[in-house]
Amino acid sequence: MAKRRPTLTENVSTRVARARRSAERNKLFRFLGPRGAVTLVLGCALSIGGVSEAFDGVHFLVEKDLDAVRVVRQKSHRSTVVAQLEDGFAANSFFKLSQALPQSLVTRKRSMFTDAWLPLTGATEPKTDVLHEELARIGNVLRRQFFTDQIPYGDLIHQKAQKYSVDPALVAAVIEQESKFNKGARSQVGAQGLMQLMPRTGRWMGASNLYDPEQNIDAGVKYIKYLQGRFDGNLKKTIAAYNAGEGNVIRYGGVPPFGETQTYVKRVMNNYARRNAQLQKYGQEQGGGAPAEVPVGVVTLR
């Protein structure tokens, strides 16, 4: 006679009983008791990422499947799985206990016998418009082509600018003023290469040979990014600090009253405006309109 297969209910009951016996053998479980143990688990789950975040726009979804529960932390448009219980007994107790928490903090959801409950492997982002994504991609391609075709060392400039989220037109404007795109340039005070970095600054930014165009541009763009952060994206202060040092810009609260620095800022700004105008024209000639802007913090002209 064929052996009868256990029903789904019998399988679940067996697993729950096995889990209960396993839990009861645990010293911590015996010490805390069932409710105390589940309380501890819930507290740990909801505290992941910092307890203070629970009161800072964070909401928790406790979602129950047939014999498992997961806790999803939701903030803005991001959802992250912070805990998942596969043990049937603990999961059921966990879900029941969550019902005692305020709805302003925790929402409960049952997803029984449905394919809708799919495990999250990480944060989810809101979907973006496909048309705008494609326009941005085309714009970036045109921007890269412009720098490669029209600007000396343009491929390196664009590559490093993207790496550090700096506008490549600003990088080109600085190089034009500093060295006229001469990789072997050296100033009277010892500044070297395309972006005329002092050896100490170059080492700080990770360059060992400032006459190597790739190392020089990488270090120079990284330094511009640092100055942008120091001056909240203020373009004139960033340019002035590149020439006169951040200490002088802080001391004078803006472009220092040095004739050399003031002239330098004006010329870099003019170079920057001219490169952007060339880029705009290039995009129109290629039939792609204006190339997409790079999301950087160097457009504030205060």
Q: Catalytic positions, please?
A: 178
In angstroms, the first-to-last Cα distance of the chain is 89
Order the strands of the 78-85 sheet from edge to edge.
78-85, 69-75, 58-64, 106-110
Separation of alpha carbons 279 and 90, rounded Å: 62
Q: Yes or no: say if 160 and 170 are a contact pair by the CB < 8 Å rule.
A: no
Phi, psi values for residue 82, rounded to 5°: -110, -15
Beta-carbon-side half-sphere exposure of residue 194 (alpha carbons within 13 Å)? 26
Helix, strand, or coil (residue 76)? coil
- Asked if 156 and 217 touch (Cβ cutoff 8 Å), the reply is yes
